[in-house]
Each structure stands twice: as structure tokens, then as C-alpha cells.
Amino acid sequence: MSDLERPIAARIDGKAISEQVRQELAEKVTDFKKLHPTFAPKLVAIQVGERSDSSVYIRQKSKACKEIGVEFEHVQLPEDIQQSSFDAHLDRINNDPAAHGILVQLPVPEHLNTKHIVHSIRPEKDVDGFHAENIGHLSKRATEPFFYSCTPLGCIELLKRYNIPVAGKNAVVVGRSDIVGAPVAMMLTKLDATVTVCHSKTSDIEAKVREADILVVAIGKLEFVKADWIKQGAVVIDVGMNAKDDPTKKSGYRWVGDVEARAKERAAYITPVPGGVGPMTVAMLLSNVVTSAVRHFEASASVTIVPNPLTLQDPVPSDIDIASAQKPKLITQLANELNLAHAEFEPYGKYTAKVTLDVLDRLKGSSNGHYVVVTGISPTPLGEGKSTVTIGLTQALYANLKRPAFACVRQPSQGPTFGIKGGAAGGGYSQVTPMTSMNLHLTGDIHAITAANNLVAAAVDARVFHESTQTDTQLFNRLCPTKKGTRRFADVMLRRLNRLGITKADPAELTTKEISRFVRLDIDKDKIMWRRVIDTNDRFLREITIGEAATERGMARKTGFDISVASEIMAVLALTTSLSDMRERLGRMVVALSKQGEPITCDDIGITGALTVLMKDAINPTLMQTLEGSPVFVHAGPFANIAHGNSSIVADRIALKLVGVPAGEPVTAENAGYVVTEAGFGADIGFEKFVNIKCRASGLVPDAAVIVATVRALKMHGGGPDVVPGKPLADAYTQENLGLLEKGFANLRRHIENVGKVGVRAIVAINAFSTDTPAELELVRRLAREAGAYDAVPTQLWAKGGAGATELADAVSRCCSEARQSNDFHVLYDHNLPIKDKIEAIAKQFYRAGSVSFSDEAQLKIEQFTRSGWDKMPVCMAKTQYSFSADPALKGAPEGFDLPIRDIRASLGAGFVYPLCGAMQTLPGLPTRPCFYDIDVDTESGEVLGLF
């Protein structure tokens, strides 16, 4: 055949295909954004130095991204950047959920480690496809990489677009680089070609090339493959790009490939140079970015549900034996199921992690999931299983209904853990795990509160001491010492100056009178309100005398300890909404009054910044899991009888976003998950404070309330014998007694009515015991429905875990769906009402008191608080949990009684005033036989024994 008769190869037009791919990507991005308005694909390119060729490539990629609707961020780093600094920049981008693709423009300066850099990019963001993990998956038939390398992917895309068959063909790849040759060979193998790889050490390359049906050349040598090597009718993909001298060109050179141009006379298809493979590289990069963004969006649109199956036993083993037998998921796995970015959680061991508030920023546009609060009736001293129901309900929603579900509970105090009540991880087959971690130190939040609280106490007493022994000048010189010839105020001092109305920022400008006002807090020792705390039930620290040492002669005063969870700092942690909000709240805390009756705050003491540092990690909720693998936030732990008794606002907010619906997505009853939070003790205490304090501060609205009741407690309220921990239950509680039960139902009826008063639907969860009869359970169920409960459901969560609460979970699901259509939630009172009016609103509407009496001290405090402008805050009642009244012996549903207010205190940091009703202890004592008798450790295995 003459040269004129020989057919010319069809041109594989990479430029045209590239433009087609880009158009398709632009349409895909546009269409996806219409369905999901928050979809925002983003590529981050890192460039070190200012090489002109690298800058050209960066501009090309930026332009290409803009054309298809992909955000492009160019991170320009200096030429002399050190490896550690580069790694820090890369780590930030790796952990930025908004960055879907990362590329490092190569080459980088020689002092940087290219291999280390390439392999430091997270594989799921390695849109260049260079990471060893992505390359490695190419060699396995059963797995796929996150991304294929762009140039090899472009080669394969060209074959597909031109409908060139690959399966069963002989493919020869000339060149074995990690960037093109090796990956394209593996990709062709995956497409069922028979592949031969040739390289510089291959003998008789010409013979092997002559056998190729498909030839890919990426060897980087000008016209290395000769035209007469090409098999007639072969397909040639020329990846090379080489400059060849050409005096006819203005530049003095022209671009040629690794294959002689005359090869088109033998091939059936061939890629031109330029205009062949080159344009496809950027197109495939864009395709990888969009693929990554879609993958990330779809993965983060919902929680991955991976239940951890239970193996139930009968009889039910001890709590700690159950917990020890059930191996939890690794916390990293749980975090991945929740779509947490790596920078959004910090593991504390294998099964626990802190989750940062950054999640709220990332998901700020998402709709919340359903919000369910678990409360209870007035309990017996044994407790009615409210924590168990909270955990079991979450397990049922998650493992049985297969819905995203999150529990939010308080961190247990070690006082009850080693005292009489035991831990608070739930019980039986409805527990938070590992329960030993939860009930002991966990991530140290309570220890941080203890340290912060006692630092305040030490600072107050030290300030009194120093002011008593120094002149104004001495105090000023020590508070604002001269350093290198200058004085300056600490930032916190400027806050005190501002409160005093002194606007000067230079210490040298203060007058003698201003110096005196600044340095003299003039604390009245008898009006110091701040007490020390300890997380142990130690009755002998309730009242103590301090300052007895000879070095503090004349400074002795009476004070005392509270339990750590009663500290105002605990309330601040539970009610704060951000780190800056926490700092402001800590600064507002009033620790004493001056001799002139002026409040002294932590800002005045100068300790606010230090407190914030001590608490900066504690503000992040602790992520754990239930026995069945559903996520749990354990955060904050204020008691409900002497504090507001709810877990933290930030934990609830993060959980609601994680199980919620992405921004722009339609919110339906089916696609929103559930957050189950717990309010301490009965609905008259924990739920009332949940509504009037927590929801008022958070702005969150509950969709349903679950009231936990037991036959045992209702019989007690009907007049049954006293229930005493450590003593066997009387026959009335273990034998059927419908009359006693119906009489005691009055207590549950009152709680159902109270929940309804604030516009929340109430579901009664009857925590069934083995001694409860079917007739008793049915009676409670019927009476609860007649009293206005949305539903009443017997549960067996302790014995069966989530499987024992599926009916309850169904009721909660139905209730939440209806609440989304019609929610009448409202707080009980206007916080602007006078203090007395707010107290009476709670006492008369929730407790059904006939009157409220105020001691002289309480009356004086109310007048003082009103003068100070502290009367516009909600009220946190400190009252016994065992009765609607202040008398724990007054059971059932009493009404018309007098509620005595013996004292009232202000927690300006927390943002409430708290009246003390009757005799309330803020530091419990140990019983005759504390729990610690049964707690030990197996010295062989290290396992904790006897904890519950």
C-alpha cells in the first residue's frame, strides 16, 4: 500500500473531550446545588515559592474550577518554609471539612520532603491520586481507591469516550512512573486487558510494542517509539510532551510526543501532542474534586447506624459484668459514623473522646433533630430508673427502629458513686459504656471544676489577707509591677476599671483616689459567698474554720465545702453556649460583698482568664456510646435538687445538629433523628428547670417528654411503707395491690398535668420490675392515658435493652412527628417578673402550694437582689426531690401547703437566683454502709469490680 493509500489514524481529540467533561461537571454541580443548596465543592492548592511555571499551572486550575462552580483556594507559602510549618498548614487543610480536594503543586524546594508531603495528604482528599493508599488499591480487584491519578484517568476516559474496547486486548505501557505508567497499567488490568509494562531495562521493547493493540507511552523521551513499531490498527495514547527545536516557530521549538508523529499512518486512533492527553489531566482533576464533594456531602447527610448486638442472659448479670462482656466500638469508628471531621474530636483512650464546638459552626445551617426530654415522678430513695430509660430508649430508636439517635446525660459525681446511690450510667442492658470510665474520672471535667472553684476560694481569702497587711501603694506596685521601665494592666484588670467607670488604660495616669478604688476590694469577711468544693460525700466539711495557722493570725473565719457538682462553675458549664460566653459568665460570678455592700466578681478578683483556661477543655462534651453502639454525650452534672439538674446546652445542640437534616434539605418526620436528654429527679424539679432555665437559655424546644414511673414508687405515694436503701422491700411492693397503686397514681397525674402546662406532650414509660403484675401495669397505663398522657408504655429496658423499649420508641416517634406539626411549648413565667412572683408561679402552679413564706433573711436578699438588678433572671428552686412540698415525708400529690423559703442566693454566672426551700444539704454524707465496700479491682486483670 502506498503512503497516499494508507489510512490516517482517527484523532483522539483530548481538548474537545476535556471541554465536554467540564461542561458535564458544571451541569452536575449546578443540578446538585439545586437539590442541595449548601453543596459547595472546594479545591485547595498549596504552592511553595513563586516558580513561574507553577504559578501558571495554579492560575489554570483556578480558572477551570471557577468555570464549573468549584471554589478554589490558593495557599501560597514562602520558599524557605520549614517542613514542620508546612505540615501544620497541610494538617489544617486536611482537617477542614469544607476542603474536598487538596493538591500540592510540584516540585517543592529541595529542603522539603516530597514523598512525606504527598503521603501526608489524607487519601480521601488526595485528588491527584498520588497517595500510596490510593495507588495501592489500584492493584486489588476487590477494592477501589478514593481517586485515580488524573493523567492515567484521562487516558482511560479517552478510550471510553471513543468507545474503544479494552477487555481482552493486548495493552503495552511504555514507562513505569508512579504518576502515569504504573497507575495506567493497573487501570487497564482492572478493565480486563492483558498488560505488559516496558521500561528502561526492558529488552527488545520494539518487539513488545509491535504486539500492542493499545499502546500507552509515558517515558518522557522525544519520539522514543518509532512509527514502524506500531501495529497496524493499534490505538496509541501518547502522554509525552517534549520540546523539539524548530527554527520555523517563533519560540524556536515545537511540542512533540514520545511517539513519532508518523505513527498516525499506522494507528487506528492516536492522541495528538499537544491537544491529546494534556487537557484531560485538569478535567480529571476537576472530576475528582466534584466526586469527592458529592461523596462527602452524601456521607455527611446522615448518621451511619451500626448497632452493637446484645447477647441477653437470664437471669440478668450485674451491671459491671454486662458492661465488661460487651466490647464497645472504637471511638474513632463511632466518630466516623457521626461524620465528625478529624479535627472535631480528640480521643481520650480507645472508647472516649472530646468533641469540639467547631461542629456547631460547620453544621450551623442544618435543621435540628427531634428533641426528647426524660423526666420522672417523685422518686423513692432507690431511684426509678430514669437514666436506664434514657439509655434504653436511645438504644431502641437506634438499634431497633434504625433511626439516628443520641443520648445526652450528666456526668456522675463520685460522691453518690462511692456513697449510697451508685453510678449513673444506666443499668442492666441499658447502659453507657465503658461504665467504669463514666462513673469515675472520665475526661476530668469535674476535677477541672473542682480546681477552678477552689482557685477562686483561695484567691478571695488571699486578697482579704493582702489588703489587710498592705497600703494602697504597696498593693498597686504588686498588682501592676514595673517591668523594663513600664507598667501595664492585665486585660482582666481593664474589665474591673471599666466597671468602676475608670477609662484610663495606662497605670501611670491613675490618680491616688483611683488607685485606691482599683486595688481595694474591701471584702467583708462575713459576706464571702464562695465556698470550697470536693467531689466526695464528706459531712464533716459542711462547716469548717479556716485561717488557723500562725501565718494567718487574725484571719480565721467559718466557711464550708459543697459537693463539686453544686459549684456555680458546674452550672456555668451546663448553661454556656460558647467559650466566649463561658468566659463572660465566669467573670460575672459574685464571690462576696464589700463592706459597702457592693458585689465582688471574679473579674474584680482578676481570676477570670485563669478559670477559663482551667475550663477550656471541659467545655467540650465527652462522646461515649451505649451498650448497643448508639452515641452518647456525657457532659456537666449539676444535681437537680440543689442546682438545675440538666446536662449541657452545648451537648444537646451538637447532638441535635449531628442527627438533624442538612441545610436546604426538606425536614420530615422520617429524616430527622432523635436526641434524648435527661432532666434530674421528678418533673417538678428537673423538668421545670429544663423548661424555665435550660430551654430559656438555649432557645431549644422539646418535641416530647417521657415521664418515668414505677409501680413501686406509685405504691409508696399511695401510703406504702418507707423505702429504705439497703433494706428489703415490704410485701406491699412485691405483691399485687391495686388499691394502693391507684391512690398513689395522684403523684403521676400531677406530673402529667405539669408537663402539659408548658405545652409538651407527655409519654409515660412504666419501668417494669419482675414483681409487677400485668393488672398493675395495665392500671397505670389506663390511668395515665385518662390523665392526658399521649401514651403510657410498660418497658423492660433493664432486662432487654433497646428490645425492651420498642413500643416506647414507637410512641416517641409518633409524638415527635405530631409535635413538628403543632408545638405549643412555652415557659411557665416571664423572667422580668419580680422574684417573689416567679417563686410563687412555680410553687402554686407546679407544686400546688397554697402559700409561700419567706424568712427575714430571704426577704432581705430579695430586696438586695432587686436593688442590684439581679431580679430579671429565672429561678432555680433548691428543694427536696421526694415531695412536691419542702417536706420529704409528704408523699402523693399534696396541695394547699406552705412552701418555706429560708434563704435565696444569686448565681450571676449561671444566670439564675436560687431559693432554698426547707433544709437542703449542699454536701451529702456517707451512709453506714457506703457503696465503696463492694468496689475493688482484680489485680490480675485490672478489671474494676462491684461498681454499679
Positions marked active-site:
61
Q: Are strands 269-270 and 10-11 parallel, antiparallel or unpaired?
A: parallel
Pairwise CA distance, residues 743 & 717, whole Å: 8
Report helix, strand or coil for 570: helix
CA distances from residue 234 to 222, 471, 480, 797 in whole angstroms, order as listed: 20, 98, 85, 70
Query: What distance in Å separates the CA atoms of residue 83 and residue 92, rounded to the nearest whole number?
Result: 14
Nearest to 713 by CA among 678, 757, 751: 751
Q: What is the rounded distance in angstroms from the CA atom of residue 424 to the CA atom of residue 433?
A: 11
Q: What is the DSSP letter of 536?
A: S
Residue 426 to residues 381, 626, 841, Cα–Cα distance (Å):
16, 9, 33
Closest by Cα among 650, 418, 553, 538 to 921: 538
With both helix axes pointing from N to C terminus, report the angle between 608-615 and 568-575 in degrees, rounded to the nearest 10.
Answer: 60
CA dihedral 926, 930, 933, 939 (to 10 degrees): -70
- DSSP state for residue 396 in the 8-state scheme: I
DSSP code of residue 509: G
**Which residue shows C-alpha cell 459547595?**
40
Torsion 774-775-778-784 (CA) sign: negative
The Cα–Cα gap between 863 and 159 comes to: 86
Q: How many angstroms separate the Cα of 645 from the Cα of each of 494, 574, 762? A: 35, 9, 19
DSSP lists the bridge partners of residue 878 as: 916
Query: Does residue 190 contact residue 138 with C-beta atoms inside 8 Å?
Result: yes
Give CA–CA dist 427/446, Å, rounded.
22
> What does R_g of the chain's alpha carbons equal in angstroms?
36
| CB atoms closer than 10 angstroms to residue 332 | 15
Q: Which residue from 721, 701, 699 is spatially nearest to 712, judged by alpha carbons?
A: 721
Q: 522 and 467 in contact (C-beta within 8 Å)? A: yes
Residue 243 · residue 255 · CB < 8 Å: yes
Whether 811 and 704 have beta carbons less than 8 Å apart is answered as no
Strands, E, within 292-387: which ranges? 345-347, 353-355, 370-376
Written as nine digits, the cell of 420 is 449510697
882: number of Cβ within 10 Å: 21
- Please report which residue ranges of 398-471 form alpha helices under DSSP H: 414-418, 435-439, 445-469
SS3 820: helix
Query: Mapping DSSP to helix (H, G, I), strand (E, B) and coil, where does residue 708 land?
Result: strand
CA distance 770 to 376: 20
Helix (H, G, I), strand (E, B) or coil at 44: strand
C-alpha–C-alpha distance, residues 403 and 395, integer Å: 10
The DSSP code sequence of 617-654 is TTTSPEEEEETTS-EEEE-----TTTS--B--HHHHHH
